[in-house]
Amino acid sequence: MNLEGQTALITGSGRGIGKTIALKLAESGADIVLADMTPEVTKVRTEVETLGRKCLNFKADVTDIGTIEAMVKTIIEELGSIHILVNNAGITQDNLFMRMKPEQWSKVIDVNLNGVFNVSKAVIRPMVKQRSGKIINISSVVGFSGNPGQVNYSSTKSALVGFTKSLAREVGARGITVNAVAPGFIDTAMTQALNESQQEVILQQIPLGRMGDPTDIANAVAFLASEEASYITGTILHVNGGMY
The residues that touch ligand NAD, with contacts defined as CB under 6 A, are 11-12, 14-18, 36-38, 61-63, 88-91, 111, 115, 138, 140, 183, 185-186, 188-191
Do 3 and 225 form a contact (C-beta atoms < 8 A)?
Answer: yes
Closest CB 131 distance from ligand NAD, rounded Å = 28
Integer Cα distance of 193 and 115 in angstroms: 23
Closest CB 4 distance from ligand NAD, rounded Å = 26
The smaller minimum CB distance to ligand NAD, of residues 130 and 145, is found at 145
* Set 24, 71, 141, 153: catalytic member: 153
The smaller minimum CB distance to ligand NAD, of residues 115 and 133, is found at 115
The smaller minimum CB distance to ligand NAD, of residues 14 and 133, is found at 14
Integer Cα distance of 211 and 214 in angstroms: 10
Active site residue 244: no
CA distances from 83 to 25, 121, 135, 149, 190 (A): 12, 14, 9, 36, 28
CA angle 223, 182, 144 (to 5 degrees): 150
The smaller minimum CB distance to ligand NAD, of residues 19 and 98, is found at 19
DSSP secondary structure code for residue 15 in this structure? S
Going by C-beta distance under 8 Å and a sequence separation of 6 or more, which residues neighbour residue 51?
23, 26, 27
The smaller minimum CB distance to ligand NAD, of residues 28 and 152, is found at 152
Integer Cα distance of 109 and 112 in angstroms: 5
Dihedrals phi, psi of 168, to nearest 5 degrees: -60, -40
Dihedrals phi, psi of 185, to nearest 5 degrees: -90, 115
Integer Cα distance of 134 and 168 in angstroms: 10
Active site residues: 153
